[in-house]
Each structure stands twice: as structure tokens, then as C-alpha cells.
A and B are shown apart, each in its own frame.
Chain A
């Protein structure tokens, strides 16, 4: 293994070149505007641009709701599966892998069909109000439903890895023997041991929701990613500047995650 490998450095430098050049060029693109020289206008204008704050807040709100729902659904289920109900384990595994088989664009095609039932068939039933509420443009809860489904595979994997590392039955029995109730045992004994996995799930879900474009755009809502896309036509520099910033923020988040919860190597992308 002590051989000096020139090809290794060729491979690594080529890779570095390919992965760093677009980032560097994007920064140059936003700063060096033809005909104006070097200017930082693209960055200073961001906050004041119409729609930036509202779309970012919408995305953050959606992310918060998605994280809350997905963890509330998944954590009790996964912990319970560790404690018993072995026959349900493969069922949950398959259910959580199903979203990988249905690409987001196919999923949103199904959702938009369902949403059309509202005006077409259900306009005289109480369900109609539910459909309207789901699509409230201020906070489209239908997106939360979709994002929770899309986050299931990642959250399942993260929680599964976390739970594998601890002995849940022993922890729960110890807590119960000391007189803790079920919720107490879960919140005070199991969850603190799962902090890494929970953070991992939360970060991955946050990254997924902040970058999500397909479902939101096709259902006609305007969270962050759709907003970037919509300003690109009129303000190219600005859209690239926001892209670069959002990249660096996402990376900082994911790198922090890599530091906190160990590398998450297999989170597959569904660009």
C-alpha cells in the first residue's frame, strides 16, 4: 500500500475541478456583472426583493410542520416495532420504501387528480371545506402531507440506524421498573438516546423541504425553490445569488449534521 500513485492525484484534481468550478463561476457571475464591473448589488437586493421573505418563511413553516408530523408518526411506530410486533416490521419497511418507487412528479400527478375531485364531485359535502383548507395558499397543508410521504424513506433509515445502536427493550423496562409511565419512558429514556438520529432526520427533512420544487410548482404554490425559479427570468444575477446562498446554507446544515450524527452516506437524492 506504500506505492506513490500519480493517477490518484490526477483523479482527485479532476474531481475537485469539476465540483468547484461551477460554484466559483456562480459567485463570479453574481459579482462581476458585464458593463457594471464588480458589484455586490445582487446580494444586497435579496432581502428587499418582493416575495423573498414570504416564500422563505413559507418554506420554513412547511419544513417545521413536516418535521413535526413525520417524527410524531415515525418515532412511536419505530420504537414500538423494536419492542414487539415483529410481524408489522416488514410492513412498515415496505410502506416507508414505497415513496422511492413513485417519483415526485408521478406522485404530484396523483395528488392533483385527487384535489380536482373537490370541485368536481364533493362541492356539496362537508369534505369540500377540507379540500379548500388543504390548499390554503397562506399555508398549503397538502404540501406538508406530500413532504411527509417523501421524507419517510430517509427518516426511516435514520431512525432505524439510531435504534439499532441502543437496546430499546432494556431501556424501557428499566424506566418502567422505576415507575415511569409509557410516555415518560419514551420521552425521558428512549428519546435522549436517539438525539443523533432525531437530528439527522430533522436535518434531512429540512433540506428536502427547502429544496423541494416539483410538487410545490405543479400544485401552484410558491415556497422558496419556486420563488428562485420565478425570479430567474427577470433578475438572473439575483436568482444565482440566492441559489449560491441557499446552497451554502444547505451545506452548512448538512455538514453540521455530518458532525453531529455521523455521516449519512446513503441518503439518496431525488433531484
Chain B
């Protein structure tokens, strides 16, 4: 009796639990099916391709770790290390610059300033890619406005270099840091500082023994997030430097579009797998840190 009632969906009779269950998982199925096709198949294809080689003569394929070994050698290794170095350097600098900026904003009494900086950060952190690269080319490139007016080329300035890229990456990394660290800075209670002062602590001691330990998970989490963001960036670098700075994203792009030797597609897939592993490592470090820092913000 009950089942027939639920079946025709009589509003008053069936238990609410029974009524809810069926649409529950049915509505999730399209989402899961879509991701299985649009995300799962390419991801598996990448995984499969990273471990296969095709014999050029016979066309037969076989499984091997050769692609992965190749992707960790020579020019590919240089590119991978170049990406890691660029991401690490820009993440550390962005964190070091973003922290004082966020602190200046958080401790400011002007509400308008806080809102403005946080909104602007939300916008800037989402702003990478081609337009960013071109804005910097117009400013500091070879024919850029500042380069021309200040004669920077004579002083050895070159935007299309490692440090040029760092300067550009900071443009979206610093705002990202401000966004990540602001909740943690807001979580620093003024009572803690007052308590420390009452006990005779200096400002340095307060930061060394109270503020920094509380902030540490958020700081490290932010650092890791910035690293991941810089590591995955491709458009900015591609539009700006071409291939004058070795980066793993540029290598993958070259190999996919067939700009290098034929048969390198699978090495591109192996390089992609390397990137996924690094990004996975980043998330594996970030998530526990975020959970830990969330404890202080409750």
C-alpha cells in the first residue's frame, strides 16, 4: 500500500524520507555521466598515452615507461625544472608582498578601502592570460611605454626573461595571496595582541610566538595555492615569451601542435602526467593546511 502511494506521489501519505530519495541520486547521474565522458575519457587517454609507444614501422603499440623517462631528461627536464623554479620564486615573492598588503588592508579603519582592495583583488586574481601579457608588453616590452621613456633597454632590462615573467605573474598572484590570507588575518583577535602586550611582549615577540604560528597553515596553504596557479599558467607565458624561457607548459604545447619531431605527442602526454602529479601533490598539501587554518577562523 505504502509503495503504491509513493509511486503516484501522494503528497500527504508517504514518509518524507522515501519521497526524497529517488530524485536525490537521479539528479546527480547526469553530472557524473557528463564528467565521466568529458573529463574521464581525456584523462584516461592521457594516462594511457603516457605509457604507450608506437612502433613507427609496424604501427603496433606497446606499453612502456620510456615516455616518462624521456620526459624527465634533457630539454624536457630543463623545462620542468624551469616551471618549478618560476612558480616557486613567484609564489614566494607574491606571498611575501601579499602578506603586508593584506595586513595593511585588514588593520585599516577605512571600510571603503577594505572593500575596494578586496573586490579589486577578486578581479585581479581572476585576470591572467593574453590581455595581461599584452598589457605588460605595452608597458615594459621592447617598445613599451616605460621602456622607451626611461630608456630601460640600455640598463639591461628584458621583459622576455625569467624575471620579466616573475614580474608579470605577480600581477595575479599577489591578489590571490591577499584573498587567501585575509580571512586568517581577520581571525587574529585583537585580544591576543593585548594579552601579549599586558604580559610584556614586544611587537616582535607577539608576531614570533602568537601571530605567525596561528597564520602558518594559511600562509603555507596560500603559498602552495600560488605555486599551483603559477605552475599551470600557460596563456600569459605563451603570449609573452614564446619559448625563450623553458617552461613545461610551453613544451607540452609545442609537442601537441607538432612543432617538434613527429612521435613526441606521447612525450607531451607524459609531461602532462608529470604536471598532474605535481598539481595533485599541491592539492594534497593544500587541503589539510586549509582545514587546519579553518580551525582558527571559526
Q: Do A and B come from the same complex?
A: yes
- The 8 A CB mask of A223-254 against B (1 = contact, 0 = none) is 00100110010001001100110110011001
A-chain residues with CB within 8 Å of residue B132 when the two chains form the complex: 271
- The 8 A CB mask of A108-146 against B (1 = contact, 0 = none) is 111111100100000000000000000000000000011
A166 located at the interface, meaning its Cβ lies under 8 Å from any Cβ of chain B in the complex: no
B92 located at the interface, meaning its Cβ lies under 8 Å from any Cβ of chain A in the complex: no
- Minimum C-beta distance from B211 to chain A (A): 15
A164 located at the interface, meaning its Cβ lies under 8 Å from any Cβ of chain B in the complex: no
A88 located at the interface, meaning its Cβ lies under 8 Å from any Cβ of chain B in the complex: yes
Give A145 to B42 CA distance when docked, in angstroms.
11
Q: Which of B119, B131, B144, B233 contacts A25 (CB 8 A)?
A: B144
Give A213 to B131 CA distance when docked, in angstroms.
10
- Minimum C-beta distance from B165 to chain A (A): 11
CB closest chain-A residue, reference B269:
A109
Q: Which of A100, A108, A232 contacts B256 (CB 8 A)?
A: A108
B-chain residues with CB within 8 Å of residue A263 when the two chains form the complex: 118-119, 122
CB closest chain-B residue, reference A177:
B11
- Minimum C-beta distance from A78 to chain B (A): 9
Across the interface, do B234 and A83 meet the contact criterion of CB distance under 8 Å? no
Give A265 to B118 CA distance when docked, in angstroms.
8
Number of A residues near B (Cβ < 8 Å) is: 98
Question: When A26-B138, A105-B272, A269-B172 are in contact, do A258 and B122 touch as well, CB less than 8 Å?
Answer: yes
Across the interface, do A22 and B39 meet the contact criterion of CB distance under 8 Å? no
Q: Which of B134-174 contact A (CB under 8 A)?
A: 134-140, 143-146, 148, 169-172, 174
Across the interface, do A266 and B11 meet the contact criterion of CB distance under 8 Å? no
B-chain residues with CB within 8 Å of residue A12 when the two chains form the complex: 101, 104-105, 113
Across the interface, do B146 and A21 meet the contact criterion of CB distance under 8 Å? yes
- Minimum C-beta distance from B207 to chain A (A): 14
- Minimum C-beta distance from A98 to chain B (A): 7
B-binding segment of A44-52, A54-62, A89-97, A187-195: A89-97
Give A244 to B79 CA distance when docked, in angstroms.
31
B95 located at the interface, meaning its Cβ lies under 8 Å from any Cβ of chain A in the complex: no
Give A179 to B10 CA distance when docked, in angstroms.
10
Give A89 to B256 CA distance when docked, in angstroms.
36
Question: When A80-B26, A114-B45 are in contact, do A106 and B11 touch as well, CB less than 8 Å?
Answer: no
Q: Chain B: interface secondary structure?
A: helix
B-chain residues with CB within 8 Å of residue A53 when the two chains form the complex: none
Across the interface, do A29 and B139 meet the contact criterion of CB distance under 8 Å? yes
B-chain residues with CB within 8 Å of residue A176 when the two chains form the complex: 11, 19
Q: Which of A25, A110, A217, A266 contacts B269 (CB 8 A)?
A: A110
Across the interface, do B20 and A110 meet the contact criterion of CB distance under 8 Å? no
Across the interface, do B108 and A8 meet the contact criterion of CB distance under 8 Å? yes
Across the interface, do B249 and A105 meet the contact criterion of CB distance under 8 Å? yes
A197 located at the interface, meaning its Cβ lies under 8 Å from any Cβ of chain B in the complex: no
B31 located at the interface, meaning its Cβ lies under 8 Å from any Cβ of chain A in the complex: yes
A-chain residues with CB within 8 Å of residue B11 when the two chains form the complex: 176-177, 179
Give A73 to B27 CA distance when docked, in angstroms.
8
Across the interface, do B24 and A270 meet the contact criterion of CB distance under 8 Å? no
Q: Which of B76-94 contact A (CB under 8 A)?
A: none
- Minimum C-beta distance from A190 to chain B (A): 12
B-chain residues with CB within 8 Å of residue A182 when the two chains form the complex: 23
A207 located at the interface, meaning its Cβ lies under 8 Å from any Cβ of chain B in the complex: yes
Q: Which of B19, B144, B170, B233 contacts A270 (CB 8 A)?
A: B233
Question: When A109-B256, A207-B126, A269-B128 are in contact, do A85 and B229 touch as well, CB less than 8 Å?
Answer: no
A-chain residues with CB within 8 Å of residue B196 when the two chains form the complex: none
Question: When A29-B139, A218-B253, A268-B225 are in contact, do A243 and B134 touch as well, CB less than 8 Å?
Answer: yes
Most buried by A among B170, B182, B275: B275
Give A145 to B41 CA distance when docked, in angstroms.
12
Across the interface, do A110 and B16 meet the contact criterion of CB distance under 8 Å? no
Q: Which of B19, B146, B148, B275 contacts A103 (CB 8 A)?
A: B275
Across the interface, do A98 and B39 meet the contact criterion of CB distance under 8 Å? yes
A260 located at the interface, meaning its Cβ lies under 8 Å from any Cβ of chain B in the complex: no
Across the interface, do B135 and A109 meet the contact criterion of CB distance under 8 Å? no
B261 located at the interface, meaning its Cβ lies under 8 Å from any Cβ of chain A in the complex: no
- Minimum C-beta distance from A148 to chain B (A): 7
Across the interface, do B234 and A104 meet the contact criterion of CB distance under 8 Å? yes
Q: Which of B109, B136, B176, B235 contacts A1 (CB 8 A)?
A: B109
A84 located at the interface, meaning its Cβ lies under 8 Å from any Cβ of chain B in the complex: yes
Most buried by A among B126, B238, B256: B126
Q: List 14 A-B contacts (CB under 8 A).
A: A26-B134, A26-B138, A29-B144, A77-B30, A95-B31, A103-B234, A105-B275, A106-B275, A110-B43, A110-B269, A229-B239, A236-B143, A251-B127, A271-B230
Interface residues of A (CB under 8 A from B): 1, 5, 7-8, 11-12, 15, 18-19, 21-23, 25-26, 28-30, 32, 34, 69, 72-74, 76-77, 79-81, 83-85, 88, 91-92, 95, 97-114, 117, 145-146, 148-149, 152, 169, 173, 176-177, 179, 182, 204, 207, 211-214, 217-218, 225, 228-229, 232, 236, 239-240, 243-244, 246-247, 250-251, 254-255, 258, 263-271
What 5 A-B pairs come out closest when comparing CB atoms?
A271-B128, A110-B42, A85-B24, A103-B232, A106-B272
Question: With A92-B28, A228-B131, A271-B234 given, can you name 14 additional A-B contacts, CB distance below 8 Å?
Answer: A11-B100, A23-B135, A83-B20, A85-B24, A99-B39, A107-B42, A109-B272, A211-B130, A213-B239, A240-B135, A255-B119, A265-B182, A266-B180, A269-B125
